[in-house]
Structure 1
């Protein structure tokens, strides 16, 4: 036979073992369900970013090359005209 105090203690002890939700570090459902990208996806995104930068550099260099070719062509024609005048 148990006492009333013991029964009260026993009920509280059992209920004390049930974990209660902590609101200190709680996350919203959206944050909890957010998909974390894998390492491979992160590497792929980084590669695509770097690739885009390199493509822009290539375009700029091609434009500069075209401008230099035009300048060289102009210089060559000037040189030919000067030679013709001298002759």
Structure 2
């Protein structure tokens, strides 16, 4: 059974380069790579935060978060700001 790898990003040049690199590096025989652009899909920001993602781009593999050239806080992509 394949494990799921999720790559959260914001669509910037740095993130798109990471998407290209990870697409070539992740073994598709062993893993299903799911790429999520939070700038284009704010509704999935809560999912990213629940997985422990703090900065973009980040990979989530087997429940572990790996930040890859992190630069953008995931909180910037919430549909509504969290109450203070």
Which of 1 and 2 has greater Rg? 1
TM-score strictly above 0.5: no
- Larger strand proportion of the pair: 2
What is the TM-score when the length of structure 1 is the normalising length?
Answer: 0.20
Higher relative contact order (CA 8 A, sep 6+): 2
- Larger helix proportion of the pair: 1
